[in-house]
Structure 1
Amino acid sequence: MDITSINVMFILKKADLEELLPSLLALQEDLEKRPRSWREHLGEVVHPGMPAAPLNPLLFRSRALNILSLLRNLVESALCQNKLLVYGNGVCYRHLIGAVLPEGYEEYS
C-alpha cells in the first residue's frame, strides 16, 4: 500500500513534523533547480489488448513549488499550534462512515 491507494490514512505527530521540515526544504531546493517544465518517467501503462505505453507526465516547476509551499505552511502551522497533521483519502474519510472526531480535532475537505 502507498499514498495513492484508496485506503490510506496517516497521522504526523510533532516529532514527525519536525523531521519533515528539512526534507521539504531540500525538495524545494531541488525543484528550484529544475527547468520551468519537464517530463518525469513514472513507469508504463498497460491497457488490455494494447502494448505498454510510457507514463511521462509533464510537470511544472511553479505548480510543484505551490503545492510544496502549501505543505510547508500546514506543517509549520501544526507545529506552532502543537497539533497533529492528518491525511486520509478514499474510504478513510470519517464523515463517510459517520464517525465523530474527538474533541479538539477539526476536519477540512
Structure 2
Amino acid sequence: MSTTPEHDARVAKLIFGSVYPHYITKIVKKGRTKEELHQVLTWLTGYDENQLENLIEKKATMEAFFANANINPNAHLIKGVICGYRIEDIETPVTKYARYMDKLVDELAKGRKMDKILRQA
C-alpha cells in the first residue's frame, strides 16, 4: 500500500517530542532502557543525546527532525510492515524515515538483539 500526500503531510507535521514519550513507555514496559532507545535513534539519525533533547525542547516536527539527520547508510536494510505500510514501498523520505524509526522501536520492544536491530550481523 502506498502512502497518500495527506498521510505524508500528517507524518511530516508530527512533533518528534510528542512521539518520543510513547517510544519510552513502549520499550520500558518491555524491559528495555532509555539508553538503548537512544542508541537506536543515534544509529538511525546520527544525533547524540544532547541533540535529541534539543530537538524535543524545540518541538521539532518530523520534517525538521529528519532534515538535518545523517541517516545511517544501512537504514535501507530495515524492511517489513509498520502501521499498515510496507517500508520498502514508501517513497516520501520523511515518511520512510519515520517508519524506519517506528520499526526500530518495535524491534527493540520485542526484545530483538541490538546487533540485529542495528543491522550489524
The answer to whether the superposition gives a TM-score over 0.5 is no
**What TM-score, normalized by structure 1, do the two folds share?**
0.28
Higher strand share: 1
Higher helix share: 2
**What TM-score, normalized by structure 2, do the two folds share?**
0.26
